[in-house]
Structure 1
């Protein structure tokens, strides 16, 4: 094997999984990723949650390749620059190649001095030489922590360099918290164990936020839509995100030592998108052709408080309690995390609703940015009409030390719904809100019928049946909401569209309630608890449910 190949330089070697427009799936190098971006449909990966870390890595390259310590520009110039690249339909590969060549050696996987995304010479102080390769891979079944996997337990002994590189980037973003094995040079060891930095995010950074990004028709558009050159939240419109002199990605910095540090701040998106949450060293086999293990410990600590200036891929929420705890004069913002139990359309409000607190737009920065540049490309050959909001992440259990669930959902919307003043946004969010209330009324109706009069022992069964019917309702509503949101063109009569939408919800929920009652073994003559010491029959509960739907969704002119 040639020495250059054995080091596996990520600029030249294929390792990023992609899907081309024709459906072909393959691995490509970083250089090819940018060259072929207009004909690549989307990023791939071993699991979906590898996509967002890889997207952010590519964005960090763009920030530095185009604007590495750039001169001062006006807000108008930043937007015009972005719009010109969009109109061109491809990246300036002279700029990209020049940058990648300048830092070429920093992208080698096993460079002895600057291994990519790793800490050279990292070693455990215990008898353990390294962790097995299964610890790198999130979907390998383990006794107490795993995601769904098609891999057989114990079957993974080593992996290819390409796959190892993908998991390496993933680990820096999503690694679990919990106790780590001490490494040589770590001064934060407590009784032979290493704990997360106090006050810092214990997981990888992406594990602490509600990761969302925008998707276009191809990878070029997706990268562009998330390439925010100005902040639209945080300190307000106009804070440059590109061209910040000290905003350097991990590969431009000198390798950190093995000790973990508390560095509560990033200089910009390029440094934040490649933040070294962990100290990691991959362990290859003898000829550097496969990876068989790793050494890992905590790296640079980061809190989740007030990172809205540079973190553009999450919504934000106020947290007065945290402000008092930290003694802050202004109420701080924390990331709005994702709920793995809900479809994305049920959580659109923090992503689309323009809420300003103390002059701060709490929507994800990517949403505000696209709103600010959309009109600049409206008359181009490639106007932005539709876009997908894609949410990805992982949820954790047992003090964030294990993976509990995975999140991967997307909703197609008309691009004008990204406008902060679009009345249609209120219409969409209102239909979602009243639908949630209507489904809750359905669950109350089911619980009332299931619970026999005065028999408290059946309450658990009633709650379980109610939850099952509620889940069934959301399953039936899901395709309706995805279709309605995707087809919501605000140029139409949005009030009429919203009412038609509510009517469809109304009919679906009525049908589910009637089918439930038809299948139920409950006697129509038995009385059930209705609160306030009142008793009500099953038909009475149904009538009460129907009235609740009329109140929330409006009366139907006819029931089909």
Structure 2
């Protein structure tokens, strides 16, 4: 009988360079899946459809990393350089020095995943901390009934990750790791949730990966743009390895924030039968972010809710008062399209800013005005998010949603767009409230539990019609014609989806033995409210269509 043996080696140096070894998951233009290295990703981006990670947070985190690299390799220093990149068939070879520079800006030696002194996005100083299962890198493997004290990792899990998998999850962890207690380096166990958890990360998607990357690549000139980017801004791989103790500081600039070191990590590789795996990892608290997110984060939309109207004692007029800034985030069941004003539009004619769209869209709008980007182009906003529990320490779900982004709406020369979109979203909100009111009044008669089906039967079905409405509105405004057909189509979609949801609710109520008279009365009251809201919607829009 032959005996099979497994040889495990830990004494040989292991090498995995992210600029040479395939690790980034992509979809080619023909729909096939592939993995590529960083150099190939940039050089062949015109032949690649998109980066597609194992989860929405991974997709978002990988884009942020690649954008930071592009800023260091290509800049671009201004809009002229950006336009040259946009018009070129492909991106320049990142391993070739730029004109007038002796060396390429891609420092390949900084992308060694297992380097002993400068491992990529890691901290060698924590290598002495007892290592745990590599399951801690993977969110869906890091929860369970049998959890450890600090990290909610199932202790019985033995996870072997390939170097490519470990690299992808390492990048994702730095951007999206939840907060809570971690294994400490010394005594500090608490950690802040990684920055991307606090927002819906907005990615403008074009036809190819080259277009997508450039649409999200603003002019980059440290000390000048983007704002809040100091001259000493640099991505994490260009900085010295971080000290092992947790710290708190504001970001030095845009590439610093894109590669924020929210955790001190040490990957432990070993070779099994000639193959390299990562099965152990050290994760300790890292750098806590200070400062306001809306002053530093340019791939998110922010809003300030109105909290009250304040009356001036001198003039007798009222002026709205607004609360603190909040990043727009994804919400379960209710589509992110409800924040299309904040996502797409630049505030016009407002004394006090109420929202701030992603700064990347300001740049796209300027390129449209300069006729670098076609005025009739329609891109897609992909919005990525992760929902944590109330303590911010456990991942509950990962989410991704899309919104149509006709570039005609991005420009500030269509002042009608904001009010029309705002009233159209408000119509959907008011009709949704009327649906819930119908259910509440019915339940009050029987002390029944809430109907969870109404939200699911209404909100998710509005996403497609709203995209259609946005594109029709953009075409009308660009052509200088009355946009009434666009709003009429949206109104019809609201009526159809809301009445179908109400009819299914009433049928379900009757099947459950509810009182026919009460259900019918609640249903009729809803229809009356629906007619009122649509009539009011018409009244609001008249002033913009005359």
Once residues 449 and 32 of structure 1 are traced to their aligned partners in structure 2, the CA distance between those partners, rounded to angstroms, is 60
Name the counterpart of 1:468.
Answer: 453
Does residue 302 (structure 1) correspond to residue 289 (structure 2)? The answer is yes
TM-score in terms of structure 1 length: 0.79
Counterpart of 1:531 in structure 2 is none
- Which position in structure 2 is the counterpart of 1:104? 108
1:161-200 aligned at under 5 Å gives the runs 161-183=163-185, 186=186, 189=187, 194-196=189-191
Partner of 1:93: 93
Is 2:29 aligned against 1:35?
A: no
CA 515–136 in structure 1, closer or farther in 2 if over 3 Å, else same:
closer
Match of 1:256 in 2: 242
1:255-290 Cα distance to aligned partner (Å, 9 max, x none): 112111112x22221111111111100011146711
Secondary structure at 2:170 match in 1:
helix
In the alignment, the residues of structure 1 paired with residue 324 and residue 462 of structure 2 have an alpha-carbon distance, to the nearest angstrom, of 36
Q: Deviations over 1:7-39 (max 9, x none)?
A: 100001000000010011111000000011111
Q: Is the 8 A contact 2:23 2:37 kept in 1?
A: yes
Q: CA deviation at 1:421?
A: 4.5
Residue 377 of structure 1 aligns to a residue in which SS?
Answer: coil
> Residue deviations 1:138-176, cap 9 Å, x none?
122622599xxxxx9966521100000000000100111
- Secondary structure of 1:435's aligned partner: helix
- Deviating more after overlay: 7-16 vs 52-61: 52-61
Matched with 1:209 is: 199
Give 1:107 shift: 0.3
Structure 1, residues 59-112: CA drift from partner, whole Å, max 9, x if none? 1111111239x7xxxxxxx22221221111322225667776751111001111
Measured at CA, do residues 64 and 101 of structure 1 come closer, stay the same or move farther in structure 2, by a change above 3 Å?
A: closer
1:436 aligns with 2:429: yes
SS in 2 for 1:26: strand
Matched, 1:549 2:535: no
Looking at structure 2, the residues matched to 24 and 495 of structure 1 have their Cα atoms a distance apart, in angstroms, of 42
Give the C-alpha shift of residue 410 in structure 1. Answer: 1.1
d(CA) in 2 for partners of 1:320 and 1:413? 26
Report the alpha carbon displacement of residue 409 of structure 1 after superposing the two structures with TM: 0.9
Residues 197-276 of structure 1 mapped to structure 2, 5 A cutoff: 202-229=192-219, 239-240=225-226, 245-263=231-249, 265-276=250-261
What's the C-alpha RMSD, in Å, of the aligned pairs?
3.4
Alpha-carbon contact 1:353-1:426 (below 8 Å) kept? no
Which residue of structure 1 lines up, in the alignment, with residue 160 of structure 2? 158
Specify the SS of the correspondent of 1:14: coil
Q: Give the Cα–Cα distance (whole angstroms) in 1 for the partners of residues 409 and 51 of structure 2.
A: 25
Q: Which runs of 5+ in 2 are unaligned?
A: 1-8, 148-153, 308-321, 539-546
Q: Does 1:8 align with 2:8?
A: no
Aligned to 2:327: 335
Query: Is the deviation greater in 469-478 or in 250-259?
Result: 469-478
- Deviates most, 406-415 or 345-354: 345-354
2:506 aligns to what?
A: 517
| Structure-2 residue corresponding to 1:61 | 69
Residue 82 of structure 2 is matched in structure 1 by 82
Provide the residue aligned with 1:283 in structure 2: 268
**TM-fit CA distance, 1:214:** 0.8
In structure 2, the partner of 1:484 is 469
Which runs of 5 or more residues in structure 1 are unaligned?
71-77, 147-151, 197-201, 322-329, 453-457, 527-536
Deviates more, 1:494-503 or 1:267-276: 494-503
Compute the displacement of 1:482 (Å). Answer: 3.6
Stretch moving more, 385-394 or 3-12: 3-12
Please tell me whether the aligned partners of residues 302 and 326 of structure 2 are also in contact (alpha carbons under 8 angstroms): yes
Cα 1:448–1:317 shift into 2, 3 Å: closer
Q: Is the 8 A contact 1:503 1:553 kept in 2?
A: no
- Residues 131-140 or 476-485, more deviating: 476-485
User: What is the CA–CA distance in structure 1 between the aligned matches of 2:393 and 2:331, rounded to whole Å?
Assistant: 18
Q: In 2, Cα distance between the equivalents of 1:438 and 1:349?
A: 19
Aligned match of 1:367 in 361, 383, 390?
Answer: 361
Q: How far off its partner does 1:375 sit?
A: 2.4
Separation in 2, partners of 1:182, 1:13: 32
| Structure 2 residue matching 1:542: 3-state secondary structure | helix
Q: What residue number does 1:317 align with?
A: 303
> Larger deviation: 43-52 or 276-285?
43-52
CA apart distance, 1:115: 0.5
User: Structure 1's 406 and 145: CA in aligned 2 closer, same or farther, altered over 3 A?
Assistant: farther
